[in-house]
Every structure is written in structure tokens, then in C-alpha cells.
Amino acid sequence: MREGDGSLRVTSYDVQFQKGLSLREFIEDYGSEDACRDALIRARWPEGFVCPECGSTRHCRLARGLFQCQDCRKQTSPTAGTIFEGTKLPLTVWFQAMHLLTQGKHSVSALELKRQLGVHYETAWMMKQKLLQVMIEREERTTLSGRVEVDDAYMGGERHGGRRGRGAEGKTPFVVAVQTDVEHPEKVLFLKMKALESVSTKELEPWFRKFIEPGTLVLTDELCPSFSVSSFR
Ligand SMILES: [Zn+2]
């Protein structure tokens, strides 16, 4: 998880909030429908509009933020193909929800979203589901590299040293992988964790291969012998 990173992938591109954006700054930057639409357009077409139909960049702007391709005449909404497609809610409300969900240190309930945004509970719940889904998809694509320490942990208490056979009866094992700064190993950059059925190479190896980049210095104890203090290839 990238804590407080504040960016949120909306299907195929990121709307990036500045880290630690204050509420006042957020309102200044995203307080109007036009500002939110412009942020969406910048995120989606950082090099300028490209027609999704024919790839042309020649276009004109119509009302309501629509783009019209001057070659194939297709009209494209900036929200088409995103989680905002077909929404009746103003983009400002979506952006406020994104801000609340990504900037806080604690998780935000649908009820809290409803109160803060002044929308119906069902609307708040739907927004939260959609936004969490894109956050999960983003998390799924995040990989670790550089210097990574891996260890196991158990819900309800940590493993006690020296014990053969990891964990204790009835506790859920987790694998925790921490990417640190290479020069300053005490500085944690990113963290990933996963609940396991059991601590076994069979379960760990596919997870390592998926989330740890080749060439990474992986530091483990005997957790997964094939990865111990090695440059993982
Ligand atoms: Zn076109």
C-alpha cells in the first residue's frame, strides 16, 4: 500500500492529488466542475486529446466538455470508459470522495461519506465500492524493488524467535514484504502483505514472483529459502 500517496487510478489513468493536500488546497484546486474535468482530461490525455476511435489528435471542443474528432467525427466524453461514465453526480462530489478516501489515515465509512458529501446513503455506498475497487486494482499493480525485507507475522501475536515450525495453532499467518530505501534501510517506502493458508514455499513463491521485481535484493530468514538474501531473478 502506498500510504497517503493520494492518487487514484480511474480505469486506465491516474488522477494524482498532491501528497498531503489540505482541505483548503483541495478546494482551491478541485472546487469547481471545470477544474475537476480539466484534471480528468490532463490525467487521461497528458499529451493532448487522442481520438479513441481512430487515433487522430485533430479535434474541437463542444459543450459539456465533449471532444469531437475532426477526422472520424466521433464525440468523446472525458468520463467515457472511466468509473465516472454515466454518472449523474457532479465530478466535484466524486473528487471530494476520492480526497476523503485517499488522504485520511483511517478508513472512511459509507455513512461518513454520506454525511460529508451530503448524498444519499446508497449513493455514498456505491461511490465507495467503485473507488475501493480502483484502489485495489492499483494496489494489485504495485510491485516492490530495490531492497526488500520479507518476514512472516501472525494475527493475534508475532512469532517468537527460534521456534521450529512457524506460528501457533489457530492463528492466521501473513507474509509482510517491506521495501526500504537502499541507502537508509531504516526508512520504509512501501509495504505489502498477504494472509496465507500456511507459510509454505508453494504459497509464497507465486506471490514473490508477482510482486517483487527481478533483480531485487530480497532479505528473508528461512521463510522462503530460494529467495533468502539473494538477488531474485
Ligand atoms: Zn476519430
Q: Write the pLDDT tens digit of every residue in 108-146.
A: 899 999 999 999 999 999 999 988 888 777 777 788 989
pLDDT per residue as tens digits for the range 131-141: 888 877 777 77
Residue 233: pLDDT above 50? no
> Domain tally for the chain?
2
Residue 68 CA, ligand 1 centroid: distance in Å? 8
Clarify whether residues 115 and 74 are in a common domain.
Answer: yes
CA 91–ligand 1 middle distance (angstroms): 25
Q: Residue 231 pLDDT more than 60?
A: no
82 and 180, same domain (yes or no) = no
Residue 72 Cα to ligand 1 middle (Å): 4
Residue at which a domain ends, from 141, 157, 178: 141
Going from the Cα of 57 to the center of ligand 1, the distance in angstroms, rounded, reads: 8
Report the separation in Å between the CA atom of 67 and the middle of ligand 1, taken as the mean of its atom positions: 10
Share of the chain above pLDDT 70, in %: 79
Give 10 or 80, the one with higher predicted confidence. 80
Residues 112 and 162 in one domain: no
Looking at residue 42, its pLDDT comes to 87
- Helical packing angle, 33-44 and 23-30, nearest 10°: 80
205's grid cell: 513463491
Hey, is 233 helix, strand or coil? coil
- Residue 60 CA to ligand 1 centre (angstroms): 11
Are 118 and 186 in a shared domain? Answer: no
| Mean pLDDT for all residues in the chain | 81
How many angstroms is it from 12 CA to the middle of ligand 1? 19
More confident residue, 112 or 168: 112
* 195 and 134 part of one domain: no
In a domain, 196, yes or no: yes
**Confidence class for position 93, pLDDT limits 50, 70, 90:** very high
Domain boundary among 141, 171, 193: 141
The pTM assigned to this predicted structure is: 0.65
Q: How far is the CA of 147 from the centre of ligand 1 (A)?
A: 45
Interior angle at CA 125, CA 119 and CA 129, nearest 5: 135
Question: Are residue 17 and residue 127 in the same domain, yes or no?
Answer: yes
Clarify whether residues 164 and 78 are in a common domain: no
Q: 3-class secondary structure for 121-187?
A: HHHHHHHHHHHHHHHHHHHHHCCECCEEEEEEEECCCCCCCCCCCCCCCCCCEEEEEEEECCCCCCC
Q: Do residues 130 and 221 share a domain?
A: no
For residue 53, give every residue at least 6 positions away whose Cβ sits within 8 Å of its Cβ, in sequence order, or none: 69, 72, 74, 76
226 lies in which domain range? Answer: 147-231
Task: Note whether 193 and 88 are same-domain residues.
Answer: no
Residues 167-186 have a mean pLDDT of: 81
> How far is ligand 1, taken at its centre, from the CA of residue 51, in Å?
5
Are residues 57 and 77 located together in one domain of the fold? yes
* Same-domain status, 116 and 19: yes
Q: What's the CA-to-centroid distance between 48 and ligand 1, angstroms?
A: 14
Assess whether 122 and 73 both reside in one domain.
Answer: yes
What are 35-49's pLDDT values in tens digits? Answer: 999 988 988 888 999
